[in-house]
Copies of this chain bind each other. A is one copy, B any other.
Amino acid sequence: MANLTPRQTEILQFIEQRLRQEGYPPSQRDIAEHFGFAQNAARDHLQALARKGEIEISPNDARGIRLLREQTPPGLPLLGRIAAGAPVTAPSNAEHWLEIDPGLFQPRADFLHRVDGDSMIDAGILPGDLVGIHAQSGAENGQIIAACLYEPRGGFERITLKRYRRKGSVVTLHAENPRYEPIVIDLSQPAEDQEAAPFRIAGIMGGLLRTGAPR
Give residues in A with beta carbon < 8 Å to B: 19, 22-25, 27, 56, 58, 61-67, 74, 98-101, 104-106, 121, 123-126, 129, 142-144, 204-215
Contacts and interface: CB of A to CB of B under 8 A. Distances in A.
7 contacts: A27-B62, A98-B101, A99-B101, A121-B124, A124-B214, A144-B214, A208-B208
Contact of A207 (B142, B144, B212): B212
B205 A65 contact: no
B24 A66 contact: yes
Nearest to A22: B66
Residue among A100, A101, A143, A213 with most chain B CB within 10 A = A213
A66 B211 contact: no
Given A209-B207, A213-B206, A63 B66 contact: no
Contact of A213 (B65, B67, B121, B144): B144
A214 B123 contact: yes
Nearest to A144: B213
